[in-house]
Amino acid sequence: MADEVLRLFATEFPSCWCCGVGPGRRRLVKIDYPEWLEIHHIIKRGRRHDRRNLARLCKLCHDLAEGHRVRHDGELLPTLNMANVLWLKRYCDSWYYERSFLKMIYGKALPRAVPARLLLRLLGLWPRVNV
């Protein structure tokens, strides 16, 4: 059952919610990093394969959401924090954006959903800053 949920979710969302990379689509900013797609669990506790807890990200954006530090042109890319991923969930999969469910499995209050600087930067809308 869980594998079926993941398969259907991956089929419905064929591109990264953050940078847009997917079949036939490249990032607007050329970054030497794999472009395959992954499924991100918004709340790690229990790794529930419930659609309300899933986000669709490419390898780069998934690594940044997991806190990995990635350099591009000698600069660290901004990470994606939980507030950013919540905003992406609300924007890209609003029908299944359920804060009360996420709060229940998180066990505490969730941050306010805010747009991801990385998304704006990859779209060329965020100024380059040294981190």
Please write the tens of the pLDDT for every residue from 19-29. 888 888 776 66
Cα Dmax for the chain: 45
**Domain ranges for the chain:** 2-122
Please write the tens of the pLDDT for every residue from 31-67. 778 788 999 999 988 677 899 999 999 999 999 999 9
pLDDT band at 129 (very low <50, low <70, confident <90, very high): very low
Distance CA 84, CA 117 (A): 8
Distance CA 86, CA 14 (A): 19
57-78 burial string, b = 16+ CB within 10 Å, else e? Answer: bbebbbbbbeeeebebeeeebb
Q: pTM score, two decimals?
A: 0.83
Distance CA 124, CA 109 (A): 32
